[in-house]
């Protein structure tokens, strides 16, 4: 549970109406909800170097994973990736170049500190220390400074730190007294980074307003007077507007924008969850929460679209078991980070790149990936996966595999050699050449055949005989006698080319019209 939701707001989501609707849709099946599975603090990125698309990072509160930082593509709501995986992490914030993510992390019962990581979840580094909670990190546009809130003896202070970890945090200003009921809000940098907008806190909440602190003159200016500012504040990248969450004079929260030039306030989105609001880098779009799910819209509140979903399951126990199995495997596989491996098979990456078998690769990261089904409000059919990030010749590749496997860790060895196969196996040059050419020669053993052609689709054994026949989908057969290859045949009337696939590892064969 997040600091804000747990310590300060103490709110829970009730999804009974949604559950009744879901139950009606799926017949007599009893639908259940993951009540504590909810999103918080979405923030929009530019097209990231990691994926080449715009993404929204957010904290996902989960019974299984705790609270972790996830991302979702703005153009494909079915693709979600978990960047962090241990402890409790919240309050993500993208750097404006999309290369880094700052966040508050730590054990739920311990002190929160400010961390920074690469856009893909690698190189997670702690920037702060001390006995106080550090919350809501925010980058300036140049990426040279990171502001955050520090809660010290019942009072909130704004600090600034170098994202590179150099130097010590610098105190900017105090922003009010706090207690367990105080609603906190992140700060926001101006376009030039010379001013910081923040909410001056008040224990009675109704007097909370937005102020701007000038880092050069050390003076502050009050912008709003209506009070009731909630937990959500963002300054558009073009410097023209500040967006914030507030109930106004009513009971339900809305997003308001404040035009700095005209000083005009406008209500643009109603019925939101007041746990974060963020401008897109183009200043023409916003992301926000409604019913603890991520939504996007344009800067005037139009064209609203829901990205994440309230996840409804028909078998909660089965869903949780699958999710925990995935998480346990993830923790084991992370031990391979930093190790060199060799590809057992030709692999197709998530972007369609073709990685040759026997390539030497460095395991850079291992993380969770979940792809939701087409009807992604019901998640029984969604797939848990393990995503492996590797480097081959200093270039990054991402491999998504092991979906819904009952043997995640065991399957890892089916994709990679953990030791150099050229020194591990005492095979002849002729045998290695055959493997590289995806063909088979007489005398090869079964391990060599699998490395050359992949797993057969069918194995035919004769009782009481030393002979065995492997049949492949591409039309090839390999006959064995006493565990050694006797003959390799490819039977096709006309083969133009059979491309090697990720699952079958079929050989590439040039045009032929004969029996081999």
* Structural domains of the chain ordered from first start: 3-313 (2.120.10.30), 316-423 (2.30.30), 427-490 (3.30.1450)
Torsion of CA 214, 219, 222, 228, to 10 degrees: 80
pLDDT in tens, 107-158: 766 789 999 999 988 889 999 998 889 999 999 999 999 999 999 988 999 9
* E runs forming strands in 352-466: 354-355, 360-371, 383-392, 395-401, 416-417, 458-461
Q: What is the pLDDT of residue 204?
A: 65
Assigned token pair, 515: 């029996």
Q: Residue 514: phi, psi to the nearest 5?
A: -160, 170
Q: What is the pLDDT of residue 403?
A: 59
Q: What is the pLDDT of residue 247?
A: 84
3-class SS of residue 333: helix
Q: What is the pLDDT of residue 406?
A: 66
Which pTM was predicted?
Answer: 0.76
Give 6-34 as a DSSP string. IIII------HHHHHHHHHHTTT---EE-
Please report, rounded to a whole number, the percentage of residues in the chain having pLDDT higher than 90.
43
Asked if residue 42 lies in contact with residue 288, where contact means CB atoms within 8 angstroms, the answer is yes
CA dist., res. 457 & res. 455, Å (int): 7
Q: What is the pLDDT of residue 287?
A: 96
Which parts of the chain sit beneath pLDDT 70?
1-36, 108-109, 203-206, 250, 375-376, 400-406, 492-516
Q: What is the pLDDT of residue 110?
A: 73
Q: What is the pLDDT of residue 17?
A: 30
Q: Which residues contact 91 (CB under 8 A, 6 or more apart)?
A: 2, 3, 41, 59, 103, 104, 135, 136, 137, 186
Q: What is the pLDDT of residue 206?
A: 65
CA dist., res. 186 & res. 199, Å (int): 8
| CB-CB neighbours of 155 under 10 Å | 13
Whole-number Cα distances in Å, 443 to 351, 421, 447, 475, 490: 38, 19, 12, 21, 17
Q: What is the pLDDT of residue 19?
A: 26
| Helix residue ranges, H only, 202-306 | none
């Amino acid at each position: 549970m997040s600091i804000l939701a747990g310590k300060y707001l103490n709110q829970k989501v009730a999804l009974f109406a949604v559950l009744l609707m879901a139950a009606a849709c799926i017949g007599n099946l009893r639908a259940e909800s993951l009540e504590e599975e909810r999103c918080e603090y979405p923030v929009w990125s530019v097209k990231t170097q990691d994926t080449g698309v715009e993404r929204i990072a957010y904290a996902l509160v989960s019974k299984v994973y705790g609270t972790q930082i996830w991302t979702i593509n703005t153009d494909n709501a079915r693709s979600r990736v978990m960047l962090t995986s241990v402890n409790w992490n919240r309050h993500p914030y993208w750097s404006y170049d999309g290369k880094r993510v700052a966040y508050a992390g730590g054990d739920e019962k311990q002190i929160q500190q400010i961390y920074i990581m690469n856009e893909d979840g690698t190189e997670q580094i702690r920037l702060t220390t001390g006995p106080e909670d550090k919350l809501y990190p925010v980058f300036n546009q140049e990426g040279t400074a990171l502001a955050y809130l520090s809660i010290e003896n019942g009072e909130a202070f704004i600090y600034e730190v170098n994202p590179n970890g150099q130097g010590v945090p610098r105190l900017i200003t105090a922003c009010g007294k706090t207690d367990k009921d105080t609603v906190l809000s992140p700060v926001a940098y101006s376009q030039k980074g010379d001013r910081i907008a923040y909410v001056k806190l008040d224990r009675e909440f109704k007097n909370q307003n937005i102020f701007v602190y000038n880092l050069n003159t050390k003076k502050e200016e009050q912008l709003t007077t209506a009070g009731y500012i909630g937990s959500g504040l963002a300054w558009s990248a073009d410097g023209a507007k500040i967006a914030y969450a507030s109930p106004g004079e009513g009971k339900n929260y809305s997003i308001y924008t404040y035009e700095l030039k005209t000083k005009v306030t406008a209500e643009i989105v109603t019925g939101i969850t007041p746990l974060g609001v963020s401008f897109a880098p183009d200043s023409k779009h916003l992301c926000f929460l409604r019913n603890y799910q991520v939504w996007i819209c344009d800067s005037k509140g139009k064209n609203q679209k829901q990205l994440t979903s309230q996840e409804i399951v028909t078998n909660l126990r089965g869903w949780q078991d699958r999710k925990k199995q995935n998480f346990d495997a993830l923790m084991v596989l992370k031990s391979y980070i930093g190790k060199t491996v060799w590809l057992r098979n030709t692999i197709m990456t998530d972007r369609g790149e073709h990685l040759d078998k026997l390539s030497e690769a460095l395991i850079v990261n291992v993380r969770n990936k979940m792809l939701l089904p087409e009807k992604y409000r019901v998640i029984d059919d969604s797939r848990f996966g393990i995503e492996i990030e590797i480097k081959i010749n200093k270039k990054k590749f991402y491999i998504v595999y092991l979906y819904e496997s009952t043997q995640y860790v065991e399957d890892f060895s089916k994709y990679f050699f953990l030791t150099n196969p050229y020194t591990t196996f005492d095979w002849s040059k002729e045998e290695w050449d055959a493997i590289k050419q995806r063909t088979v020669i007489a005398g090869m053993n079964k391990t060599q055949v699998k490395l050359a052609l992949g797993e057969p689709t069918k194995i035919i054994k004769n009782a009481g005989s030393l002979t065995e026949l492997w049949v492949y989908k591409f039309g090839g057969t390999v006959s064995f006698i006493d565990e050694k290859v006797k003959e390799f045949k490819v039977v096709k009337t006309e083969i133009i080319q059979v491309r090697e696939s990720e699952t079958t590892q079929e050989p590439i064969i040039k045009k032929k019209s004969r029996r081999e």
